[in-house]
A and B are shown apart, each in its own frame.
Chain A
Amino acid sequence: MTKRENKSESKRHFKLCHQNLCISQINFQKESYLGFVELHVISQRDDLKKIKLNAKQLKIYRVCILYTAENLIKDCHFTYSDPTLDISQSESKRNLDNYSVSHLAVVQSVDPDRGNGELIVEMPEDIPEIVSAVKERKVIRLHIEFACERPKGGVQFVVPQSDGSLSERGAHMFTYRYENLNRLWFPCVDSYSEVCTWRMDFTVDLNMIAVSCGDLIESVYTPDNKKKTYHYCLSTPTCAPNIALAVGPFEIMVDPFMHEVTHFCLPHLLPLLRETCAFLHEAFEFYEELLSSRYPYSCYKQVFVDESYEESQSYATMTVLSTNLLHSRHIIDQTYHSRRVLSHAVAQQFFGCFITMQSWSDAWLPRGISAFLALQYYKKAFGNNEYRFDLYQQLQDVIHYEQKYRGVVLDPSHQSSSETNAFYFPIKHLHTISPLYDSAHHKKSYLVIRMLENYLGRELLLQVFNKLLSLAINAAPQKFSASVWFNFMISTNSFIWAISTVTGKNIDTFLKQWVYDGGHAKFHSSFVFNRKRNTVELEIKQMDIQSTGIKRYVGPLIVTVQELDGTFKHPVQIEDNITKHDLTCHSKSRRNKKKKIPLCTGEEVDMDLTSMDQDSPVLWIRIDPEMQLLREVVLEQPDHQWQYQLRFERDVMAQMDVIHFIDRFSTPQTRNALTDTINNEQCFYRVRCAATLCLRRVANHMANTWTGPPAMLSIFRKIFGSHSCPHIIKLNNFSKFQHYFLQKEMPFSMAGLRNIHGICPQEVLKFLLDLFKYNDNSKNKFSDNYYRAALIDALSETVTPVVTAVINPTGQTIAGEALSMDTKCILEEITRYLNLDKLLPCYRHTVTVSCLKAIRHLQKMGHLPSNPMFFREYAISGVFIDVRKAALKALIDITKAEVRKDDLDFLLDLVENESIPSIRLYILKQFVKNPPFVKNQQNILNSEDLVDRLWLLMNSQLSYDSKIRCAVVDFYYTLYGRGRPSCLPKPEFSVVLNLKEKKVSTALITTDELEPQDSSIDRDMEVEDTKDLSKDTEDMDILPVEERFDQIVKETEMNEHNKNEKSPQRSSEPQLSPQMAEPEEHALERVPTVGTVDDVDVAPTPHIESLPSVSSDITPQPTISSIPPTTSEVEPTVNPSKEKSKKDKDRDESGGHSSKPHKDKKKKKKKHKHKEHKDKHKHKHKDKDRDRDRHHSRDRTASSGGSTNASPVKHI
């Protein structure tokens, strides 16, 4: 790319050069405020008739234009409509496919990037000054007065219910947004790509402070001295989504190291604020040095608020953070997290606020770059191991998401609509994507930027960032007219441009591989050592490229082989799904000489080589050690190689790989290797913690042959036991963090140990109870709240299902006598800790959270009666958020286990009415993780009411929060899939639709010979093809089919009678109708309320009945229609009745589906098979049965494929 692309030719007909925002009369009781905005608009065309702006849930009082210097006022007509209030209006098309189509359409219909908006202002044409201003591209001042009352989203009023004045209570308000939803609190052009300068005035009560973006110019009393007004000015062009406001009785702390930085927190929390933010100047300095560019704004503010939407939200010059990030210096665990969040927020000031995305498809850039910067700081602050471990985790998360749901496409702009629509939510717009996808997108963006670091080199990548920043910084002071403001936006194209300018490199292939396309690579690899040639013959296979989220990789790959003589890198080229590589070994076999072995880090170590293969000099092999690809590697190595790798490889990622794989070799050698790792003080603490969990698994596998005390007991006593009596733990001293984390993790790992009877050894329980007893934190500098919580977790981990023969599912009969001594001891500790935590609460109530978890676990295992009311008390507002979340999680678990509508309603009520958005989101996310039932499962909760409720929720109730709306969509998908929920009645039978679909399916089948192994995998990708086909077949007229129906009626009457004799009761069952097996899903799933077989008027009904034997007639191709007789000869009698019952099953599993088209195929198959059978006469009958079963199962899979998708499945 030679020139930077300037995408300024947007679809908007005007540009914004300045905006004033004024908000006053903020009323905390009524949760309302008044305000006006003044947009300085410059027309981009001569005939500007309408100006489309974004505004949502606001009351617009007046829109007018100020013109001439005398501020003459001309009122404008305007219309206001919000299509996102109701997404899908058609009742009959109630499925997620239709929903996602309309969702995208609706969101785009107000998308400012498409020049749309909710508020349409008509330009007056009768004022010559205005008309001329349009023509001359002069500034038009658009004045809009608005009010906001009881906002449902976008603004959070936090008004605690207690005595005292508002400021004493700590009442405050702040704005939040999910991507660009700032239109919820003021009218604007709500786009990241429309920047302008800002002036903002906020009038608040005297004891309140208004914090907003930009520089605080002054604060002035109102004339009546009862209020004050904060005047802000933001001269750096900024887009509307990056504007925020927080008002409250904040305490102020000026950063002692950087006076431009101001921190705000709620009353009483100042000491914590001081300790939490003490490090922040280091982050600033680090970023400035790293980017060799100064911080782009003149000030920075951090506001810590309660009930925040996310942990942190970055806006221009300010960040709104959750007050729960604050901590004192006695807290260890939270410090890691808070520092990470805070430093990330600073990085987002550079990329994300100062430089924003151009459009949705570019979102990966600011996200990825800011996360990249943040992790660079993380590496500096917490060390390389911590950084690499985090990297490893993020990669695992992305791989997990992609394999479970779909590949994450960072820049979907190059994707065809079929590819993007092949999922249950459209990925082209950030307002329609699932929150899970969003978080995977965040992580993957970062991983890709990091890969780019490898690809280009760190220095060059930083230079690219520097280039982007300096262009923007130069543009900042310039006037709008200079038209350099596009430098504030970053897009994939401008990024390519910047890279090619700075480095001269072309990254097109890279982008094509990782950005424009989703998925990751997965390598299966194995090797043999060839002694003669002294080579390693390595085979790398990519087997699962058809699976979800996995794609074929072609390109270079690094393999390292650790030999006796050192580490050797072998670049190999992957060109095919299976590649073989000969890697020459450098070492001669010379194990007799005692010599130190050099590692990749350059150090030389002594190794005990006795367990090695005598012939091979290979110690271990790693594939893609530097993680230059997004990949999953399944490497087959002998166990001793894994053990060597665990002991001597220095990279934490390699060690983690071992820990993931090694538990399949449950041998004493593995045990020793793991024990050594845990004991090794040089080893990274997180690896040691992971090793304890792995050792637990190994020990449990070895339960039969295990000798000595329970695993890890002696290690623990050695490290943490006091000198004179090792069975008593030392007084807590957490000043060595490695030990602290290990001390937390080991009891938990040990608690999972099981003896041959599958229960926790008595010795371990005793050990844990002793830990409780002897826990003494009096001499410690740090709080032990996380440690105590970990002990409770460990205690609950020991609990195994109750042994009594019959466990009452409701558990109401559990009596006190039934409690075993162990359970009593456990309960005793838990209740004591729970009670104590209420009297003397610990930091973030971690102990209470763990106690709730433990109580739920005890209930689940049958030791306690299940009691949803107990958790409900903890789930209501007024309880600390962590505790609420724990209680809600337990409640969701109870809902699943006990299927009571009551519990489900309670949770859904919360989703609908809860005032803290993060709680609502949490409930939905947990529901997705742990749904009360899955698709098509028979369940009491699986009722029409629930479908209606969820549908209503996502369709028309959540217009003000697209994140929660998408979370509901996730939940809906988890419960019902993409098709029409099986519990719903069927819509009216529609012949036309039905017909069309049927033809589609039959047409398909005639062309396809092969059946897929598992059609559900392909489901997502086939939409386009079927659509095309449906177009082709649309032209066919209806008549022939009607004729066919008639024929069928006649032909099948006989059969029908027979069948009715066989199973008369079945004919009257309404459930039968799903069998009617028409491809059109609506028809299929909706059971006609009167649609029994007795209804002879309904044409399709006899058709249904005829299906088993005759349905194959209904094909346009005469060739196929000739087949059925043969098949019916093969199995003339057995087929119908059996098939019927099979189909009942089919319906249960697939939500009611046609197997008709597949039947044709089946018969074809059968014919084919028939020939084979002649060869094997002996097994004829058996084979036949088996065949039939197989066909049925195919039917089932195929039909389930059809049910989730409006169109049938293409068979490859």
Chain B
Amino acid sequence: MEMSCGSVGTVKESVSARRRVLYSAVCAVCHENEFSLADKPSLDTLLQMLQSLLFEIGRSSQAFCELSGRTEPLVGDVVMALIEMGLNCDSLSSYAMRANRVTIASPQLMAKQSTPRILQAGEKKQLTPYIADYLPAFPDPHSYIRTPTHKQPVTEYEAIREKSASQKRDVERALTKFMAKTCGHSLTHRLFPDEQISHLFPLIILKVESNPYLNALLPKDQVFDDNEEQLIHKKETDKKAKPVVNVSDKTDALNADNATEEQTNETNKLTLNTSATDNDVLDNPYLRPIKMSSRKRSRKQFET
């Protein structure tokens, strides 16, 4: 016979230890009465009932005690309270002495929480002689000592190189290992058939791309600072008239007849760098607008 006492553990820690003891008591009573199983809600209900009973006994014992002008209840007060609640006191002692009583272990003392030590920074200063000794001691040193905020930087070239190299390598190693272990793995993409050694040299899985040339031609391993050169470049081009080109967009082209003359102000990236004038660039047949089909054009003319 086993009680479903698993719920005991789930009782919140915040609920007092007393309640836990009560819970055990309820369980014990149930057990004595040969319950083999009990729902947690029903146990809770019983627990609640028991608690209110005890609370009521306590409260009315207190009342009897105060009624007789005392502050601490005596046994008599409790008996009075029981009787008044209609409980049978006589059978109580025999019940307490019953043979199949389950002894509930007394709750353990909670370990005393030690208050965390305040971080000691530096030596605590003794009171200086001119301060009377009855005055409080100095507060924690961190409130008044002065420590230098930075270390003297290492200026030795070799050490710096060494450090930056190791840092870089550590970062790379950590990153690659992390990625290799997290981005999934394949059975074949490894150097050793043995799982354990492969683990020493994990490989990032190979991804198949739809346009592999893009990644290969636009490298990401290094970011070059193109800004400076581009700025110079831009200044140069700004001085000259910006090349203005029709974008051979579909919408544009549909009103191509109107659009041939009016030019969108959108600077075309394609012709950046050019020292050319507008007309020169427009001259390129690939940048010319697309013409309407002859049939449509004739119809338009007819309409107008």
Contact = CB atoms under 8 A, between A and B. Distances in A.
Partners in one complex: yes
Interface centre among A220, A269, A272 (most CB of B within 10 A): A220
Nearest to A253: B270
B217 A206 contact: no
Given A828-B201, A864-B191, A254 B217 contact: no
A413 B123 CA distance: 103
B284 A262 contact: yes
A843 B216 contact: yes
Contact of B176 (A266, A324, A832, A872): A832
Interface string A748-789: 000000000000000000000000011011000101110000
Contacts of A219: 285, 288, 290-291
Given A262-B284, A781-B224, A838-B204, A776 B164 contact: yes
B270 A252 contact: yes
Nearest to A164: B210
Contacts of A776: 161, 164-165, 168
A776 B162 CA distance: 11
Contact of B270 (A254, A324, A785, A816): A254
B271 A880 contact: no
Contacts of A878: 208-210, 212
B151 interface: no
B149 interface: no
A268 interface: yes
Contacts of B283: 259
A91 interface: no
A781 B222 CA distance: 10
Which of A215, A222, A259, A874 gathers most chain B CB within 10 Å? A259
Contacts of A268: 214, 218
A218 interface: yes
Contact of B201 (A217, A327, A827): A827
B65 to A, nearest CB: 78
Q: Which of B193, B200, B216, B253 has the most CB of A within 10 A?
A: B216
Interface stretch (B16-24, B38-46, B109-117, B182-190): B182-190
Nearest to A845: B216
A877 B208 CA distance: 8
A831 B203 contact: yes
Nearest to B268: A252
Nearest to B296: A223
Contact of B211 (A160, A259, A272, A865): A160
A221 interface: yes
A20 interface: no
Interface stretch (B4-12, B28-36, B259-267, B273-281): B273-281
B269 A816 contact: no
B171 to A, nearest CB: 10
A1026 B172 CA distance: 70
Interface in A1008-1051: none
A996 interface: no
Given A221-B296, A827-B201, A873 B206 contact: yes
A867 B191 CA distance: 7
A1081 B275 CA distance: 73
A855 B270 CA distance: 43
Interface stretch (A94-102, A608-616, A681-689, A722-730): A722-730
A572 interface: no
Contact of B221 (A228, A785, A827): A785
A287 B291 CA distance: 36
Nearest to A728: B161
A783 B194 contact: no
A724 B158 contact: yes
Contact of B288 (A218, A814, A819): A218
A49 interface: no
B292 A724 contact: no
A253 B271 CA distance: 6
Given A256-B275, A835-B176, A874-B206, A221 B292 contact: yes
Contacts of A244: none
Interface string B157-170: 11001101110110
A826 to B, nearest CB: 11
A323 interface: yes
Query: What DSSP secondary structure best describes chain A's contact surface?
Result: mixed
Nearest to A872: B188
A270 B270 contact: yes
Contact of B188 (A254, A327, A838, A867): A867
A24 to B, nearest CB: 14
Contacts of B164: 776
Interface residues of B, number: 74
B217 A221 contact: no
B254 A225 contact: yes
Contacts of B208: 876-879
A869 interface: yes
Contacts of B275: 256
Contacts of A209: 286
B201 A774 contact: no
Most buried by A among B190, B203, B221: B221
Contact of B157 (A161, A169, A254, A722): A722
A879 B212 contact: yes
Interface in A812-830: 812, 814-816, 819, 824, 827-828
A873 B208 CA distance: 9
A879 B288 contact: no
A256 B193 contact: no
A724 B213 CA distance: 42
A220 B298 CA distance: 14
A880 B293 contact: no
A898 interface: no
A209 B206 CA distance: 34
A405 interface: no
A841 interface: yes
B285 A221 contact: no
A262 B287 CA distance: 10
A872 B272 CA distance: 43
A117 to B, nearest CB: 34
B285 A816 contact: no
Contacts of B210: 160-162, 169, 878
B197 interface: yes
A839 interface: yes
Contact of A783 (B189, B190, B221, B286): B221
B276 A259 contact: yes
A906 interface: no
Given A220-B292, A256-B273, A880-B212, A812 B206 contact: no
B98 interface: no
A845 B207 CA distance: 13
Contacts of B212: 878-881
A845 B216 CA distance: 6
25 contacts: A169-B211, A206-B250, A209-B286, A215-B285, A217-B285, A218-B291, A252-B270, A252-B287, A254-B284, A256-B271, A266-B213, A323-B213, A725-B161, A785-B221, A835-B204, A836-B172, A836-B175, A836-B221, A838-B206, A839-B179, A843-B217, A844-B217, A870-B188, A874-B206, A876-B208
Nearest 6 CB-CB pairs, A to B? A878-B208, A816-B197, A835-B176, A160-B210, A162-B210, A869-B188
Interface of B: 157-158, 161-162, 164-166, 168-169, 172-173, 175-176, 179-180, 186, 188-194, 196-197, 200-204, 206-222, 224, 250, 253-254, 269-276, 280-281, 283-288, 290-296
Interface of A: 160-162, 169-170, 206, 209, 215-223, 225, 228, 251-254, 256, 259, 262, 266, 268-270, 272, 274, 306, 323-324, 326-328, 330, 722, 724-725, 728, 773-774, 776-777, 781, 783-785, 812, 814-816, 819, 824, 827-828, 831-832, 834-845, 855, 864-865, 867, 869-870, 872-874, 876-882
Given A254-B271, A323-B217, A834-B204, 18 more contacts: A162-B210, A209-B286, A219-B290, A221-B292, A253-B271, A259-B284, A306-B211, A773-B166, A776-B164, A776-B168, A815-B197, A827-B201, A837-B221, A839-B179, A841-B216, A864-B191, A870-B188, A878-B208
